[in-house]
Amino acid sequence: MSSAAPLDRPAPTSPLYTSRNHTMTTSTLPDTRTSTALHMDDVLLTFPDGDSRVTAVDHVSLRIDRGHSLAVTGPSGSGKSSLLAVAATLTRPESGHVWLTTPDGEVDLATVSRPRAAELRRAEIGIVFQQSNLLDSLTAREQLESMAWLGSRPSRTRRRETRRRADELLDVVGLGSAADRSVGALSGGQRQRIAVARALMGSPSLLLADEPTSALDSEAGAAVMDLLLGTAAEFDVALMLVTHDPAVAARCDSMVRLVDGAMV
Ligand SMILES: Nc1ncnc2c1ncn2[C@@H]1O[C@H](COP(=O)(O)OP(=O)(O)OP(=O)(O)O)[C@@H](O)[C@H]1O
Ligand SMILES: [Mg+2]
Residues 112 and 196 reside in one and the same domain = no
Q: How far is the CA of 155 from the centre of ligand 2 (A)?
A: 39
Ligand closest to Cα of 75 equals: 1
- We report the CATH number of the domain holding residue 262 as 3.40.50.300
Position 147 in a domain: yes
Residues 193 and 230 reside in one and the same domain = no
Which of 185, 202, 219 terminates a domain? The answer is: 202
Residue whose CA lies nearest to ligand 1 atom number 27: 76
Q: How far is the CA of 82 from the centre of ligand 1 (A)?
A: 6
Position 64 in a domain: yes
Q: How far is the CA of 249 from the centre of ligand 2 (A)?
A: 15
Which of 153, 173, 202 terminates a domain? The answer is: 202
In this structure, are residues 22 and 5 in contact, taking their beta carbons and an 8 Å threshold? no
Q: With 0-12 CB in 10 A as exposed, 13-18 as middle and 19+ as buried, what is 42?
A: middle
How far apart are alpha carbons 43 and 232 in whole angstroms?
A: 24
**Distance between terminal CA atoms of the chain?**
20
Find the helix or strand (DSSP H, E) in which 152 lies.
none
Each residue of 112-161: pLDDT tens digit?
999 999 999 999 999 999 888 898 999 999 999 988 776 667 788 888 99
Residues 138 and 262 reside in one and the same domain = no
Residues 120 and 216 reside in one and the same domain = yes
Range of the domain at 29: 22-124+204-264
Each residue of 199-212: pLDDT tens digit?
999 899 999 999 99
Atom from ligand 1 closest to the CA of residue 261: 14
Based on the structure, what is the number of domains in the chain? 2
Which of 159, 176, 202 terminates a domain? The answer is: 202
Position 15 in a domain: no
Residues 102 and 144 reside in one and the same domain = no
Ligand closest to Cα of 49 equals: 1
Judged by DSSP in three states, 70 sits in strand
Each residue of 29-73: pLDDT tens digit?
444 445 999 999 999 999 999 999 999 999 999 999 999 999 999
What is the pTM assigned to this prediction?
0.87
Each residue of 169-215: pLDDT tens digit?
999 999 999 999 999 999 999 999 999 999 999 899 999 999 999 88
Residues 213 and 161 reside in one and the same domain = no
